[in-house]
Chains A and B, each alone.
Chain A
Amino acid sequence: MTEPLKFVTHSIDDYAMQVTYNPATNEGNVVYNLSFVKNEDLEFVIGILKDAYKTGLAASGLVKFLGSGEKISDLVVPEGQTAVCTVCSVTLDGLLIRRGIPINPIGGGVVEIENRNPIRFIHMILYEYTTIDPLQVLNSQRLTSVTSVMRRGSGKILANIREFHMEAESLVGEVLDELSDSSFIGILEVGMPNVPLLGVPVSPQFIAVACVGGTNPLAAIKEGGCWVQTNAMKGLMDVSEMKEIRDY
């Protein structure tokens, strides 16, 4: 008998509860995504990560690179490959939960962007119904055009959405203000009470927040024809282990 399957809603709660990141001091744990790329593509990968950060298409500018043979969580980086750790947007859910704001993670999907404005979700997988991170499977469906959003401001990106009770609106506002001065830049759009956000309905008296998926730069790398393997929500990492991508 193997362990019962775990749906993503449960994984998000488990990870979010362990987030200790404090945006004001830039200290503590964040949730990270782990991706593998080929060593020969590394220069291109760093270029894309920089562009994605500059154009706001990453959850954060913080990254960590690991070379072949180094260990990360339960894996060893294979020969000829480099591991890239990026901040996962579930970190936001963690920040909200730690501040006493109950949230419902809704799901992950693909958002249409026009002239740098998010228009609507065009695909969605609800967390409650899946054991694999939606953005991990949507990444490989040729549904994204992250590169085009970086270059021309229009296209399709990966994003996720959660909702909170409107009672907590001012507290959420505070957290978002703190984030605006930190290295977490992934907020895509905040909705209004009882109003669907980017086409996704909310529960009665709830407000939705959409976030840029942390794996967008990896989707862009894939669009560029490079091999990438992504594991979303791989674990927790102290931000002191990560560096700003602009320093590379």
Chain B
Amino acid sequence: MIRTERKYIEILRILKDHQEPMGAKRLSELMAERGFILSDRAVQYYLSYLDAMGFTEKIGNQGRVLTPSGFQETDSALVDDRIGFIISKLERLAYRSTFDPKTSTGDVAYNLSIVPEESLDQVQKTFDEVVATGCGFFSSYRIVDHDPRIPHGSAGLITVCSISMDGVFQRNGIPVRMAFGGRLQISEGSPQRFVDLIGYRGTTIDPLELFISSGLTSISNFCRTKSGIALANVREVPSSALQNVKRTIQTMKKCGFAFPVTMGNQVFNLPPNPYRLSIVAFSGLNFIGNTVEQGIDIKTEIGAGNIPFSKVIEKN
């Protein structure tokens, strides 16, 4: 029974990842790629069930698309499965981040934010503040206007997602594990301690998104007075990777990435771990947090995809 639910949710997830209608044959191929072996006929059977539930609809004979309620269902069903899904989505982006800091080429992962056109100037100001303070993971952002995901009357902003760093580490042979999202307290420019942490492996909603919408940040204070609460991630790597990590970070810094706040076996008030180095780095979500604090309407997809690095640094 549960296995059945797992299958129909996977069909909804595939449809969610594709904008165009999709037929049963293609769906059965993509399902097989994900480990669910189903005949076309079986997929048809699931699809008619999903149609009846109002989660999918038929577009002529081109195939099925997701309905708004189907979209919502992918964010509601299988709570246990979705706890692992947050990190699994980020790991896919990390793996697809082919960026090489030595040559400044390859792809990085990005977050896509959508704001009303009329508030774009104001948003740019809040983004620039974060860049100036150096708490934005990457030292620039990009405005996009030609993208089907951006509705009419809105503007899109691309920020580099810090999961790109995990991709660079992995390509340098450093096994890295994204552990926590947290809110870091800073006094007079010097980071003091984590006020709260939420582990990426224990939630169905991105930890940093939770902190932003709960009003638990004071990024604009940090930008203006050097004291406040900003968002940071904690990653773990083997202690023996220290030299390699330092070298990798140095080359990334030259490309415009913010240097991590600190690293060590026991940093701030994090639980100590003798065999793992915790790397604390500011998150790209500080851009979004600062904008939300100004009361500006901003919708962000964390880890919206991968994009060539050259496109991010192009002048707007």
Known contacts A4-B271, A123-B204, A199-B79: A136-B199 contact under CB 8 Å: no
Q: Once the chains bind, are B214 and A3 in contact (CB under 8 Å)?
A: no
If the complex has contacts A2-B269, A130-B199, A131-B197, are A199 and B192 also in contact, measured as CB distance less than 8 A?
no
Whole-angstrom distance between the Cβ of B69 and the nearest chain A Cβ? 13
Q: Which of B100-141 contact A (CB under 8 A)?
A: none
CB-CB contacts below 8 Å: B73-121 with A: 75-80, 82-83
Task: Find chain A residues with CB under 8 A from B172 CB.
Answer: none
Given contacts A2-B192, A136-B214, A140-B213, contact A122 B79 (CB under 8 A): yes
Q: Is there contact, CB below 8 Å, between A129 and B201?
A: yes
Cβ-closest chain A residue relative to B192: A2
Highest count of chain B CB atoms <10 Å: which of A141, A196, A199: A199
1/0 contact string of B164-181 vs chain A (CB within 8 Å): 000000000000000000
Give residues of chain B (182-202) contacting chain A, Cβ–Cβ below 8 Å. Answer: 192-194, 196-199, 201-202
Q: Flag whether B210 is at the interface (Cβ < 8 A).
A: yes
Interface on chain B toward A: helix, strand, loop, or mixed SS? mixed
CB distance from B233 to the nearest CB of A (A): 14
Is the pair B205, A126 in contact by a Cβ cutoff of 8 Å?
no
Instruction: Mark contacts of A115-151 with chain B using CB atoms, 8 A cut-off: 1 yes-contact digit, 0 otherwise.
Output: 0000011111110111110001111111000000000
Determine the residue in chain B with the shortest Cβ distance to A156.
Answer: B76
List which A32-59 residues lie within 8 A (CB) of chain B. none
Q: How far is the CB of B230 from chain A (nearest CB, A)?
A: 16
Contacts of B295 in A (CB 8 A): none
Does A200 have its Cβ within 8 Å of any Cβ on chain B? yes
In the bound complex, do residue A125 and residue B76 qualify as a contact, i.e. CB atoms below 8 Å apart?
no
Whose C-beta in chain A lies nearest to the C-beta of B81? A199
Q: Is the CB of A130 within 8 A of B202?
A: yes
Interface residue? B251 (CB, 8 A): no
In contact, B79 and A109 (Cβ under 8 angstroms): yes
State whether the Cβ of A112 lies closer than 8 Å to any Cβ in chain B: yes
Given contacts A3-B269, A4-B269, A137-B211, contact A124 B197 (CB under 8 A): no
CA distance A124 to B215 in the complex (A): 20
Tell me, yes or no, whether A201 is within 8 Å of chain B by CB. Answer: yes
Closest chain B residue, CB of each to CB of A120: B79
Cβ of A75 within 8 Å of any chain B Cβ, yes or no, is no
Chain A CB within 8 A of B313 CB: no
A61 within 8 A of B: no
Chain B residue numbers with a CB within 8 Å of A125 are: 198, 202-205, 210
Residues B199 and A129 in contact, CB atoms below 8 Å apart: yes
For the A-B complex with A2-B269, A4-B271, A122-B79 known, give 14 more contacts whose Cβ atoms are closer than 8 Å: A5-B197, A5-B269, A5-B271, A7-B197, A120-B79, A125-B202, A130-B198, A130-B199, A138-B210, A142-B213, A196-B2, A199-B80, A200-B79, A201-B80
For the complex of A and B, 4 pairs with smallest distance between CB atoms? A129-B202, A129-B199, A126-B202, A122-B76
